[in-house]
Amino acid sequence: MIKNSQLRESLKSLTQIIYPYYENGLRLDDRFEDDKQYVAIMLTMLDKQIAKIPEFDLCCKIMAEDEKIQKQLGQLVGTRSHYSLVADEKTCILGFLKQIYLESNQYDQSVFDKKYLSFEDFFYSDHLVYKDSANLYNFSFADSELALGHGVTIRRPIARFLQQTDYEKYIERMYKPYTAFSNSMFVIERDYEAKKIIGDPGEIDQNVIFNEQHESPLLFDLVIDSLRILKPSAIYRDHRIKSKSITFQPHGGVTERSPFYENIAVGGKCNIEANEIATLRKVFNFLCREEDSRFLVAKRRLSSGIERRSPEDRLIDYMIGLEALYLPDGNAELSFRLSLRVAFLLSSGAMRKKTFEFLRKMYGMRSKIVHGSKYELSEEDVKKLEQLLRKSILLWIEDKSNFSVTQKTKSGRVKTKGKLDTIFFQD
């Protein structure tokens, strides 16, 4: 619903007028037409000329008479982790005009309507809306969009958002050449709202700011974990996260957050079929709420193992993951109990003995690796171990009671018997 119809009509007239000014003033050659940053800088050089248009003064006057808008001018406006100075009416209008032009270099009513609603939301709403995104690599999906829940979506962006500037291409070739072999043209996106703060927010708990800034990275990591749990692949994401304000911001732009490290995976693509979507959503939503430390260790070790280059390191990660799920109740006879429990939970019939013997072999291999003894480790064995851990994690997601252990009182009496201790007597 429009809050200030007079301002809308005046901005509409001004927007229609400025297009010839921008077109005549820019005169870009072909090298810079698609470089949004360069175009934005050039548009700023035309600010004085745009400010002399009579309709510009009228828009400033209408904004000056709006009490809701006036309370925010000259103030810091934003959230606990994103905020900027809203200087005056002139700054807001110039920012609005440039953002519309960068969206479409010809007047488009639908673009104006969308941008104006965003403009009003900035001044009239109690919340600000943001979109965080990160490139997704080694991913394949037939459709253009896959919604997972919690505001998170895997999407194939429209073509113009996939275009890179010459500088971005140079940086990627120099520092991230591996992306050329794994680019999948998909991104992970998260849309979310944050409470708007006007003026000096005062002293804010740094933990609150940290949690707000890391909410998207954590959810994006859960997407990667979900895909890795669902099936074997070398799926990974760009650790740089771009944050764009969907609600109007006077200075516009996109911020980018990067960690000090980046983990990648090498291997085949993760191709999601239509019949796997429901399972993927189930896994992702389970990961978003599961807090059991045993499961979290197993999930983390599966993911870190996939990213490691050395088969020895991968084996150790996968064994730690299996131990977290199957051996929470003591330190005696680890190899025997781990092998027996995995064999009975994941296999049946003649395969139980083979699984048991394989786990005993892998446990012995792990001991040789960590103690520096001689060993012979095959890639096939490591992949088989990875699949056992993946299968175990999926079984936990299906019914975690399969991994329950016997509970005892302080005096040592058995309160409840766990599945891991009684499974041998079931068939």
pLDDT, tens digit (0-9, with 9 covering 90-100), for 107-165: 999 999 999 999 999 999 999 999 999 999 999 999 999 999 999 999 998 654 445 55
Average pLDDT over residues 44-56: 93
Count of positions (residues) in the chain: 427
CB 242 within 8 A of CB 258: no
Report whether pLDDT(103) > 60.
yes
Report whether pLDDT(86) > 80.
yes
Write down the pLDDT at residue 1. Answer: 84
Confidence of residue 178 (pLDDT cuts 50, 70, 90): low
Write out pLDDT tens, residues 338-384: 999 999 999 999 999 999 999 999 999 999 999 999 999 999 999 99
Rg over CA atoms, the chain: 28
Question: Which residue, 164, 22, 191, is CA-closest to 99?
Answer: 22
Interior/surface letters 41-51, b for 16+ CB within 10 angstroms, e for the rest: ebbeebeeebe
Helices (H), 28-70: 36-44, 47-51, 54-64, 67-70
CB 416 within 8 A of CB 406: yes
In terms of pLDDT, which residue wins out, 389 or 106? 389
Write down the pLDDT at residue 392. Answer: 98
Q: Mean pLDDT over all residues of the chain?
A: 88
Beta strands in 123-258 (DSSP E): 127-137, 139-141, 145-149, 152-155, 183-195, 197-198, 236-237, 241-245, 254-257
Q: CA 236, CA 8: separation in Å to the nearest integer? A: 44
Write down the pLDDT at residue 183. Answer: 60
Write down the pLDDT at residue 114. Answer: 95
Average pLDDT over residues 100-109: 91
CB 257 within 8 A of CB 241: yes
Write down the pLDDT at residue 81. Answer: 75
In terms of pLDDT, which residue wins out, 211 or 171? 211
- Mean pLDDT check: name the lowest of 189-193, 197-201, 221-225, 421-425: 421-425
In terms of pLDDT, which residue wins out, 225 or 212? 225
Report whether pLDDT(180) > 70.
no
